Amino acid sequence: MNSATLASASAPALEAAEDRPARLRRIRRLSAVMTWGTTGLAVAMGLIVTLAVIWLAWPALFPQLADELFEIAETERNLLDIPFSQRLGLAMLGAVGGGLITLILVRLRQIFAGFQRMEFFAARTLGKVIALGRTLLVFGVFDIFHDPLGTLLMTLDLPEGQRTMELSLDGGEIFVLIFGAIMLTFGWILREAALTHEENQQFI
């Protein structure tokens, strides 16, 4: 191989090395934006979930929503017509769902914060990726059982023939489960790669 060929082969590598600081700055800027964005969303979601739980358990505190119908799947009822014990169950169900969504946003914030610190393959960052995958899987399973449990709680006080337990799947649950499995596997693979790299560094 002549010198001209060596020079042409090394040119892309040199350009990539020179562009690396710019790429890292871009990653840090975007990660910072996403860190603040997910922080705001997590706080907002926490407030929304809190208000929703209070409304479900004590709808009389919100007279402006007195005529609003609460709906799960195809079942609709006025909350004031539902006994308190059932409303409390609905509130707990909503708290779990909203809490999981908030936790997903917190996990995302932790991952982007790690990227902002340039900790791409740090054990802490990869642990948050794995935790995100697990949380998504839990949320996907919860979402499948949300409608049957919710409709049962809404109609439990009605005569036997009017009680319902509806199962509604719109594909969103499947997507969350698949995405959660991908993130979990991705985190496992990256963690193993990072451990292998550390082991190799010890032999050098």
Task: Kindly list the domain boundaries of the chain, sorted by start residue.
Answer: 19-203
pLDDT of residue 204: 56
Is the confidence at residue 27, as pLDDT, over 50? Answer: yes
Mean pLDDT of 54-65: 88
Q: Is the Cα torsion angle 91, 95, 98, 101 positive or negative in sign?
A: negative
pLDDT band at 197 (very low <50, low <70, confident <90, very high): low
149: helix, strand or coil: helix
Q: What distance in Å separates the CA atoms of residue 84 and residue 163, rounded to the nearest whole number? A: 17
pLDDT of residue 109: 96
> Is 34:111 a contact under the CB 8 Å cutoff?
no
Tokens describing residue 34? 């996403």
Contacts by 67-70 with C-beta closer than 8 Å and gap 24+? 70/154
Which of 7-16, 67-76, 79-88 is the least confident region? 7-16
Q: What distance in Å separates the CA atoms of residue 192 and residue 194, rounded to the nearest whole number? A: 5
pLDDT band at 18 (very low <50, low <70, confident <90, very high): low
Question: Average per-residue pLDDT in the chain?
Answer: 86
Percent of the chain, pLDDT > 90?
A: 50
pLDDT band at 12 (very low <50, low <70, confident <90, very high): low
Residue 33: half-sphere exposure toward Cβ, Cα within 13 Å: 5
Q: What is the pTM of this model?
A: 0.84
pLDDT band at 196 (very low <50, low <70, confident <90, very high): confident
Is the confidence at residue 6, as pLDDT, over 50? Answer: no
Q: What distance in Å separates the CA atoms of residue 104 and residue 176, rounded to the nearest whole number? A: 11
pLDDT of residue 9: 47
Tokens describing residue 74? 């195809």
DSSP tag of 164: -
> Is 136:104 a contact under the CB 8 Å cutoff?
yes
> Is 52:94 a contact under the CB 8 Å cutoff?
yes
Which of 6-10, 35-39, 180-184 is the least confident region? 6-10
> Is 130:184 a contact under the CB 8 Å cutoff?
yes
Q: Give residue for tokens 């050098």.
A: 204
Q: What distance in Å separates the CA atoms of residue 126 and residue 119, rounded to the nearest whole number? A: 9
Is the confidence at residue 124, as pLDDT, over 90? Answer: no
DSSP tag of 1: -
Q: What distance in Å separates the CA atoms of residue 190 and residue 194, rounded to the nearest whole number? A: 6
